[in-house]
Structure 1
């Protein structure tokens, strides 16, 4: 399915889906959404872009190798859990900080960093699988 309409619409649809995946990620953890669902939406967006424009276009767009993205996400998730060890509370206990950025207090938590790590793991792993299958399909 490589029509002109699809090739023109795919970048817009991809951008819209990536923005929605970030919304779902940030909404996450205690509400419906989070890193896993957001990552699936983002990986689906990259798959749509790849179907329309090819694997090389997706690889240029994401810049890093998908497994490097997954590895960075796994590291971020693990480090989010390790924070609790240094404060002498059970593993994966949530911690919050409230830095002031440009005069606005921004609540940041280990929950958000954990969900972001899960998001990156899912995007990297699913994208890697998709790109490998798509490359094999065109060989």
Structure 2
């Protein structure tokens, strides 16, 4: 499936899927969706890119080993829960703050940092599996 049309469209499809995965990630704390499904969409984008250009191209595009990305996501998710313990409430209780950045009130929540952590875990784990399957084919 390494046709000229596929190799030409793969970068566009990958970029579109990555932007859509970020949209799903960011809307997920208000509506269904979030980190898990956004991470699956992003991992699918990297799989499409890998089918078109190979495992090495995906590794160069990621810049970090996929398991390192998953580890960073796991750390972020655990730290999001620890913030609630430091505040004296039960583990994984959602906390919100509204700092003023450049004169604008920006709501920040531990819920979104947890979702970003889940997103990174899913992207890292699924991409690592896909890359190892791609390497075994070569």
TM range (shorter): over 0.9
The gaps in structure 1 that reach 5 residues or longer are none
Q: Which runs of structure 2 are paired with 1:24-43 in the superposition (5 Å)? A: 24-43=24-43
Q: Which runs of structure 2 are paired with 1:85-96 in the superposition (5 Å)? A: 85-96=85-96
Q: Alignment length, in residue pairs?
A: 138
Residues 13-66 of structure 1 show CA distances to partners (whole Å, capped at 9, x for unaligned) of 000000000000000034121000000000000000000000000000000000
Corresponding residue of 2:4: 4
The gaps in structure 2 that reach 5 residues or longer are none
The CA RMSD over aligned residues, in Å, is 0.7
Residues 66-91 of structure 1 show CA distances to partners (whole Å, capped at 9, x for unaligned) of 00000000000000001111111111
Distance 2:126 2:61 in 1: 16
3-state DSSP class of the match of 1:17? Answer: helix
Distance 1:7 1:102 in 2: 43
Q: Which runs of structure 2 are paired with 1:51-66 in the superposition (5 Å)? A: 51-66=51-66
Alpha-carbon distance, 1:105 to partner: 1.4
Distance 1:115 1:20 in 2: 15
User: Could you tell me the TM-score, scaled by structure 1's length?
Assistant: 0.97
